[in-house]
């Protein structure tokens, strides 16, 4: 094996290692990513629950129609938010 061929192989391997290192995410980056996903999912869910409870409180008698409906809507909106975020940033 000549020196030129050996040098090219070492440079190629070093370039591959650098590319692999750039592609790997740290534990902190993964934690931030999962935290962002949870906020994107839970914010519409909680907002829907509070808004639904407030709207149900305005009507006379016991009703959970708005609460259940807006919780389901919050779940759907949160799932859509998570899907779009993963699609763009993964």
Domain-wise residue ranges, the chain: 25-89
∠ at Cα 63 (48, 80), nearest 5°? 20
Q: Which two tokens stand for residue 33?
A: 């990513």
- As a whole number, mean pLDDT of residues 36-59 equals 96
Question: Per-residue confidence at 27, pLDDT binned at 50, 70, 90?
Answer: confident
40 touches 85 (CB < 8 A): yes
- The separation between CA 18 and the C-alpha centre of its own chain, rounded to angstroms, equals 27
pLDDT of residue 73: 98
Instruction: Calculate the average pLDDT of the chain.
Output: 91
* pTM for this model (two decimals): 0.72
Render pLDDT for 7-24 as a digit per residue (tens, 0 to 9).
889 899 888 888 877 767
């Amino acid at each position: 094996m000549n020196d030129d061929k050996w040098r090219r192989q070492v440079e190629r391997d070093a370039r591959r290692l650098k590319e692999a290192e750039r592609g790997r995410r740290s534990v902190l980056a993964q934690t931030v990513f999962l935290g962002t996903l949870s906020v994107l999912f839970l914010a519409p869910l909680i907002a829907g629950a509070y808004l639904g409870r407030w709207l149900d409180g305005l009507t006379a008698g016991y009703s959970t129609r708005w609460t259940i409906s807006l919780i389901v809507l919050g779940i759907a909106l949160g799932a859509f938010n998570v899907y779009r975020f993963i699609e763009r940033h993964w």
